[in-house]
Amino acid sequence: MKLYLVQHGAALAKEVDPARPLSEPGRQDVQAVANFLSGAGIRVERVWHSGKSRAEQTAQLLAKAVLPRGRIEQVGGIGPDDEVAGFVSDADVWEQDTLVVGHLPFLSRLVAWLVAGDPERELVGFLPGSVVCLERCDVDRWILLWMLRPDLLARE
């Protein structure tokens, strides 16, 4: 099973729009990542997001590229300051490749928990729009396969 963890794209400042939707550069970055993932043949069975506007918009853009069937779902427990223990409590039964769009510091802590068993150990450097791909090797062991940051891709 593969788990794709995505930090939402760059959002507008609270002062501009309190809902903090994606900014135009954020939308462009996420679209470039979506195009890359599609071209690489990445497909998932489900896409989850936190429910915040910027995460939902990011999930919608990515789902068009990687979710051939199924639907986008809002899930709880993946907000910026949520505890990772609650989210991973049922990870041992996850079977479907899944893309999760969320926020920092939650995503960084999630990677650290799954790979190193320590949510405070920083292992990856997320930027808005970044994707980290983890693969489960057995019930409680995950490895980092790759990471893609939008600054590596040209905007279209």
- pLDDT single digits (tens) 44-97: 999 999 999 999 999 999 999 999 998 899 999 999 999 999 998 888 788 999
Q: Which residues contact 68 (CB under 8 A, 6 or more apart)?
A: 43
- pLDDT single digits (tens) 90-109: 887 889 999 999 999 999 99
Give the residue extent of every domain in the chain: 2-152
Mean pLDDT estimate for the chain:
94
Topology classification of domain 2-152: Rossmann fold (3.40.50)
- Of the pLDDT bands very low, low, confident and very high (cuts 50, 70, 90), residue 139 is confident
Q: Is the pLDDT of residue 43 over 90?
A: yes
